[in-house]
Amino acid sequence: MDAALSQRDRMLAGAHYDPRCPELVALHRRAQELTRAYNQTIKGDTERDKILTDLLGSWNGAVIHAPFHVDYGSQIHFEPGCFVNFGCVILDVCEVRIGARTQIGPNVQILTADHPRSGAERAQGLEWGRPIRIGADAWIGGGAILLPGVTIGDGAVIGAGAVVTRDVAAGATVAGNPAREIAPRKA
């Protein structure tokens, strides 16, 4: 990885980066201010659309119930017709793409951020991430956790409380910890 890249560029590329650098601290603070403002609104408040437009990379009219929490927001891209229930957390140090008409249950965590496994490396404060992709017409059940780098195929169903550690095929239904296929894919 090019040492001349900014910490933000390193973060977006999935390389080790320092989240304490001034640029990332400022971007994170901006996202915190916008999510705080959003989380203080209720359905029908006119400023909600502007806040989500300013916060997210692509909003496309997704219905998002507060509270909603993000790291940066700008790496999150919704296609049209999406629904996000209460308490969703998206750690978007890398890109998160959510396909059209996907529904996300309450208290779902979508986590692109990752950390070194060794304590000595964690003490250096470096992080990295891997992007997450969710296809169209997927359903993510309440309390599910999607770990860095997973892809969820079109029409897949993630059972409530599942911990998704690997890719889920289109049309598959998975559940458990770690999530495993429990229903055959639809033809």
Beta-carbon contacts of residue 116 (< 8 Å; ≥ 6 apart): 122, 124, 126
Please tell me the CATH code under which domain 7-183 is placed.
Answer: 2.160.10.10
Query: What three-state secondary structure class fits 44?
Result: coil
Q: Could you tell me the residue ranges of all domains in the chain?
A: 7-183
Please, what is the Cα angle at 105 between 98 and 58, to 5 degrees?
25
Beta bridge partners of 114: 128
What's residue 118's pLDDT?
Answer: 85
What's residue 122's pLDDT?
Answer: 85
pLDDT band per the 50, 70, 90 thresholds, residue 52: very high
Report whether 96 contacts 55 (CB < 8 A).
Answer: no
| Residue positions annotated with a catalytic role | 115
- DSSP state string for 10-24: HHHTTS-B-TTSHHH
Prediction pTM value: 0.94
Residue 1 scores a pLDDT above 60:
no
What's residue 184's pLDDT?
Answer: 66
pLDDT per position as a tens digit, 89-145:
999 999 999 999 999 999 999 999 999 888 888 888 899 999 999 999 999 999 999
The 10 Å Cβ neighbour count of residue 49 is 11
pLDDT per position as a tens digit, 2-46:
668 899 999 999 999 999 999 999 999 999 999 999 999 999 999
The 10 Å Cβ neighbour count of residue 126 is 17
